[in-house]
């Protein structure tokens, strides 16, 4: 018998089983990165995913190449990549409430001739997934996919006020050293945001820009996203001037269509 005849091909079912197992392993690594909620070293990802370090490293190399993960050259830490963000945004956009919120953002920006954005909670804070301009475009230094700070942004304040403290405490701890406020000040900020029903910044994040952000809740009462509106006019969102109350009431209807 010739040497060529002696070659035994691997059954197709074995190849399919191996491919499925590879997908399962990659999913375990991505799930571990989501659970860690921050850029993490290989050792931590290996531990959380329950994989040997060498195996986790092989898969992370492939995930980085595909864009599902990224690696910081300086620290060597891994985080979710641009393709993972794209998948997340696509999944979120299929949510009916998010679709209605997106449509409302566009309508309200046009009606009030202002700009705005929609944010959802991401690994490191509120992530912008839609921007709208209903009047003269406002030049922003942040674009789609950007993560907003918690304390200094209007949308961040809403998430900070309504999410469980365990979801935000690590991020707040990173932000506080650069701010001239205390943990007690943050609690006061949360209480005020819940009481008035919106977050607000007066040039606190970008000089010359004023913003308010409103929460959008799901049927379970949990915060799903925020709608923020931006103006260069210092009095645009002043109480009693019309814009603030009209925007607040319109966004509130997204959470409770019966209103």
* 101 touches 118 (CB < 8 A): yes
Q: How confident is the model at residue 1 (pLDDT cuts 50, 70, 90)?
A: very low
Give pLDDT, residue 139: 67
Least confident of 124-128, 202-206, 226-230: 202-206
Q: Percentage of residues in the chain with pLDDT exceeding 90?
A: 55
Query: What are the residue ranges of CATH 3.30.450.40 in the chain?
Result: 95-255
Q: How far is CA 245 from CA 46, 211, 241, 252, in A?
A: 50, 14, 8, 10
Residues near 170 by beta carbon (within 8 Å), at least 6 away in sequence: 37, 38
CATH of 95-255, one of 3.30.450.40, 3.30.70.1880, 2.60.40.1120, 3.40.50.720: 3.30.450.40
Q: Percentage of residues in the chain with pLDDT exceeding 70?
A: 86
Beta strand 210-217 with 223-231 is antiparallel
Query: What are the residue ranges of CATH 1.10.10.10 in the chain?
Result: 12-80
Mean pLDDT of the chain, nearest integer: 86
Token pair belonging to 32: 């571990």
Q: Which CATH class is domain 12-80?
A: mainly alpha
Give pLDDT, residue 4: 46
Measured distance CA(216)–CA(162) in Å, rounded: 11
Which residues pair with residue 210 across a beta bridge? 202, 231
Residues near 53 by beta carbon (within 8 Å), at least 6 away in sequence: 42, 43, 46
Give pLDDT, residue 256: 72
| pLDDT tens digits for range 79-109 | 989 898 788 777 766 668 888 999 999 999 9
The answer on pLDDT for 3 being more than 70 is no
Least confident of 14-28, 199-213, 237-251: 14-28
Residue 194 CA from chain centroid, whole number: 21
Residue 230 CA from chain centroid, whole number: 19
Give pLDDT, residue 207: 76
| pLDDT tens digits for range 114-170 | 999 999 998 789 999 898 988 777 766 667 788 899 999 999 999 999 999 989 999
Give pLDDT, residue 18: 55
Give pLDDT, residue 7: 47
* 157 touches 194 (CB < 8 A): no
The answer on pLDDT for 225 being more than 90 is yes
Per-position DSSP letters for 211-236, written without gaps between them: EEEEEEE-TTS-EEEEEEEEES-TTT
* 108 touches 73 (CB < 8 A): no
Phi, psi of 129 (to 5 degrees): -120, -5
* 253 touches 161 (CB < 8 A): no
Which residue did the predictor score with more confidence, 37 or 74? 74
Give pLDDT, residue 234: 85
Give pLDDT, residue 37: 72
Q: Which helix (DSSP H) or strand (DSSP E) does residue 127 occupy?
A: strand 126-133
The answer on pLDDT for 19 being more than 50 is yes
């Amino acid at each position: 018998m010739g040497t060529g005849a002696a070659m035994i091909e691997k059954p197709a079912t074995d190849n399919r089983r191996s491919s499925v197992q590879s997908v399962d392993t990659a999913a375990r690594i991505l799930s571990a990165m989501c659970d860690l909620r921050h850029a993490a070293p290989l050792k931590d990802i290996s531990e959380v995913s329950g994989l040997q370090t060498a195996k986790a490293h092989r898969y992370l190399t492939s995930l980085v190449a595909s864009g599902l993960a990224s690696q910081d050259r300086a620290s060597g830490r891994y985080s979710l990549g641009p393709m993972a963000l794209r998948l997340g945004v696509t999944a979120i956009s299929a949510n009916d409430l998010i679709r209605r919120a997106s449509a409302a953002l566009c309508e309200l920006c046009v009606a009030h001739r202002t700009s705005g954005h929609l944010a959802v909670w991401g690994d490191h804070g509120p992530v912008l997934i839609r921007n709208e301009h209903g009047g003269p475009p406002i030049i922003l230094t942040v674009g789609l996919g950007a993560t907003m700070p918690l304390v200094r942004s209007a949308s961040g304040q809403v998430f900070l006020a309504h999410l469980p403290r365990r979801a935000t405490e690590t991020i707040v701890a990173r932000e506080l050293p650069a701010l001239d406020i205390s943990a007690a000040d943050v609690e006061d900020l949360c209480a005020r945001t819940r009481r008035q029903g919106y977050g607000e910044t007066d040039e606190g994040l970008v000089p010359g820009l004023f913003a308010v952000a409103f929460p959008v809740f799901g049927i379970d009462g949990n915060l799903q996203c925020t709608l923020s509106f931006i103006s260069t006019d210092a009095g645009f969102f002043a109480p009693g001037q019309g814009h603030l109350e009209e925007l607040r009431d319109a966004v509130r209807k997204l959470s409770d269509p019966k209103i």
